[in-house]
């Protein structure tokens, strides 16, 4: 029987990490692997971890897109006492569950603020007899750190603690080295799983998406500029007579959601969430979105015509690089974040509707099964 997995997942701003983790977990449990998920962020409506056991740590989020300050859901900044309590709760979970495999989302390539609990957690995994294997779950593209010592620290931490680095991508599209040249130093640890695509299809009974322009903002915390630009662009492009659907995401501030709802004209629908979004994309006229991992994978799988306006505030480079690579392969149309305006977006809509839908043949979109297969084949005895 495959070894028991403890999967640590911490999301801070968006919901993409949780959606990807949930799809992976469902594939693992379907393959007969027992999984316990430890979730460190707030609840995300509409996301299911299937048959896995789900445990929640005291939730923490980033106060804004700079990720410089971590706060509780009530907005209070966390302190050392809070960290100590959460660390002890996490270590207690590890001690009671005695997993064979410890799977950590993103760290050491992100989540550095959580070293206070992750280093002790990995120490506990190493002290377990037989020792628990330690694996990292990380997306295809990293946000480049401007300081060389931070990038070296990632490599050193991976080499010191991890048995495996699971990269949820396909090197035929983009290798980890494209955003993290230091990956050569951990080449022996890296296994590419393929891209994680959520194959769970929620039923859709209202026909939504058919022939529509769908504008989606992922989690929505930073998606207001795109949705407002799209709303104005509608009357400046050839798609003005098509129905448009704006999906704000659960984290869009209520004031922005109300503003969009009030100003939306006839023929424009504004909704917070659509669990059936992947199904809607398969029958839409056009998708307009930010370049988050999960949305892009849904676009490729559904072969929808798509415009991507990548989020690029602060040091964020991940979405821009992915969109550039896809544009080079003529799979999407891209509007740079700094170029976003109703007129620019309207021109892109006209170009995209006149072009051909995406054809993603040759890209490995079986990352859920690939991850489950790799973890299910691991020997769960100490090295």
Q: Are residues 337 and 371 in the same domain?
A: no
In a domain, 141, yes or no: yes
Q: Are residues 68 and 22 in the same domain?
A: yes
In a domain, 361, yes or no: no
Q: Are residues 173 and 263 in the same domain?
A: no
In a domain, 36, yes or no: yes
Q: Are residues 115 and 167 in the same domain?
A: yes
Q: Are residues 87 and 141 in the same domain?
A: yes
Q: How many domains does the chain have?
A: 2
Q: Are residues 80 and 108 in the same domain?
A: yes
Q: Are residues 217 and 153 in the same domain?
A: no
Supply the pLDDT for residue 128.
93
Q: Are residues 132 and 79 in the same domain?
A: yes
Q: Are residues 185 and 227 in the same domain?
A: no
In a domain, 327, yes or no: yes
In a domain, 63, yes or no: yes
> pLDDT tens track of the chain, all 383 residues?
578 999 999 988 778 889 999 999 999 999 999 999 999 998 888 789 999 999 999 999 887 766 678 899 888 999 999 999 999 999 999 999 999 999 999 999 999 999 999 999 999 999 999 999 999 999 999 987 878 899 999 999 999 999 999 999 999 989 999 999 999 999 999 999 999 998 766 655 578 899 999 999 988 888 999 999 999 999 999 999 999 999 998 889 999 999 999 999 999 999 998 988 988 999 999 999 998 899 899 999 999 999 999 988 767 788 999 999 999 989 999 999 999 999 999 999 999 999 988 777 889 999 999 999 999 998 765 43
Write out the residue range of the structural domain in which residue 223 sits. Answer: 213-354
In a domain, 145, yes or no: yes
Q: Are residues 180 and 315 in the same domain?
A: no
Which residues does 235 contact at the CB level (< 8 Å), separation at least 6?
none
In this structure, are residues 10 and 114 in contact, taking their beta carbons and an 8 Å threshold?
yes
In a domain, 305, yes or no: yes
Q: Are residues 126 and 253 in the same domain?
A: no
Supply the pLDDT for residue 65.
67
Which residues does 295 contact at the CB level (< 8 Å), separation at least 6?
16, 216, 218, 287, 289
* CATH code of 318's domain: 3.40.50.2000
How far is residue 268 from each of residues 116, 227, 247, 260, measured CA to CA in Å? 47, 12, 11, 10
Supply the pLDDT for residue 383.
39
d(CA 365, CA 343): 34
């Amino acid at each position: 029987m495959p070894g028991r997995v403890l999967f640590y997942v911490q999301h801070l701003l968006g919901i993409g990490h949780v959606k990807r983790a949930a799809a992976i977990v469902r594939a693992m449990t379907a393959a007969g692997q027992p999984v316990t998920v430890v979730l460190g962020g707030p609840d995300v409506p509409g996301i299911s971890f299937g048959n896995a056991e789900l445990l929640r740590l005291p939730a923490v989020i980033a106060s804004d897109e700079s990720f410089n300050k971590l706060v509780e859901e009530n907005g209070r900044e966390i302190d050392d006492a809070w960290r100590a309590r959460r660390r002890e709760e996490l270590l207690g979970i590890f001690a009671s569950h005695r997993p064979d495999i410890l799977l950590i989302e993103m760290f050491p390539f992100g989540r550095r603020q959580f070293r206070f609990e992750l280093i002790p957690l990995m120490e506990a995994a190493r002290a377990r007899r037989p020792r628990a294997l330690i694996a990292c779950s990380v997306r295809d593209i990293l946000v480049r750190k401007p300081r060389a010592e931070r990038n070296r620290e990632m490599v050193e931490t991976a080499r010191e603690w991890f048995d495996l680095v699971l990269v949820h991508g396909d090197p035929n599209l983009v290798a980890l080295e494209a955003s993290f040249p230091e990956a050569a130093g951990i080449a022996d640890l890296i296994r590419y799983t393929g891209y994680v695509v959520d194959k769970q299809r929620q039923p859709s009974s209202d026909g939504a998406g058919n022939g529509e322009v769908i504008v989606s903002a992922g989690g929505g915390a930073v998606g207001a500029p795109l949705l407002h630009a799209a709303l104005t662009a509608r009357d400046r492009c050839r798609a003005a007579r098509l129905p448009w659907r704006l999906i704000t995401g659960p984290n869009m501030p209520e004031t922005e959601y109300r503003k969009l709802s009030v100003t939306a004209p006839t023929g424009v629908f504004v909704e917070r969430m659509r669990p059936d979004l992947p199904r809607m994309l398969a029958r839409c006229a056009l998708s307009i979105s930010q370049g988050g991992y999960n949305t892009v994978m849904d676009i490729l799988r559904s072969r929808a015509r798509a415009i991507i306006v990548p989020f690029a505030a602060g040091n964020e480079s991940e979405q821009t690089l992915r969109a550039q690579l896809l544009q080079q392969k003529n799979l999407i149309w891209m509007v740079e974040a700094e170029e976003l305006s109703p007129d620019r977006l309207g021109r892109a809509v006209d170009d995209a509707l006149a072009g051909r839908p995406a054809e993603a043949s040759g890209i490995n979109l079986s990352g859920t099964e690939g991850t489950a297969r790799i973890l299910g084949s691991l020997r769960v005895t100490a090295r």
